[in-house]
Structure 1
Amino acid sequence: MTIQVGDRLPEAKLQRIRDGVEVVDTPTLFEGKRVVLFAVPGAFTPTCSERHLPGFVEHFDEFRDKGVEVLCMSVNDPFVMKAWGESQHVPDGLMMLADGNGDFSRALGLEMDASGYGMGKRSKRFSLYAEDGVVKQLNVEAPGEFRVSSAEHILSQLP
């Protein structure tokens, strides 16, 4: 079942690179915080690299001015996420998170099968806003679209 507004985010473990590979759980990422999480089907893919991540990089300071942390997630490994972040000049503080096995995407009910494109199981393209681990806004894209999960759209939804 797909997560809904008002639901608490499920517990899962994600990875990131700091001083080596670091495992971080979702309660650590979300509890007691205001957070925007956006997910992409794949690092280095065209829409993700040309439009989705760049919008969050461009508007990063606006999120920070509102006291909102920004997290980017993809079903890739943490080394790919680190390299993608570097190639996109992601600012310090915009966390690049790997959901390597898709466990969190699946727990959210936002997994998709991209096997037809040779990509296996991936995350749907989405953005969400959570306060203290509870979803307040959720924007899930229709297949092949990029509209409602943009930085500009979720910025317009923030209190």
Structure 2
Amino acid sequence: MDELTAYHEAGHVLVALLLGAEIHSATIDPDRDDGPERHGDTQIVWRNDGSSPREMAERAVQVALAGPVAERLYGGEPFHPGFVAEWADDWRLAWDAAATLIADERRRVQFLEQTTLLLHHRLDQEPHWSALAALADNLLAHETLEGEQIEEIVGEWLS
């Protein structure tokens, strides 16, 4: 399995957890169903915590961009997530979620770029980087992790 894919999915997982989501599962086992081919997938459920639609959109943006940011950190690549074909789905999800927040497209791009930089800084710090690496290592070892496994792995670093 691809290490970049493991870090990518680990990024989605970690940021979703940090923002209060529940993770049902994460996998780097390629999906070859009738839809678009995916190299990884994370099943996220948001708890009903009374968050506003704006707060939920902001969370969706962060989770969507966290995969490319984690992958970029691991690979040491300075690429903009909007310009890498493999990240197009993540960028589109972030773009669509941000559309409910910011109608002007130029300001929306600036918001997404700023969010990417904030995520880059956050994930590059301890203990987040260690938790991210532990998730990626476990995804590489097992290909699929269930929610309880994920909470146990992350709990070692973020408790």
Q: Please report the TM-score for the alignment, with normalisation by the length of structure 2.
A: 0.28
Q: Give 1 or 2: higher strand fraction.
A: 1
Q: Which has the larger radius of gyration?
A: 2
Q: Give 1 or 2: higher helix fraction.
A: 2
Q: Please report the TM-score for the alignment, with normalisation by the length of structure 1.
A: 0.28
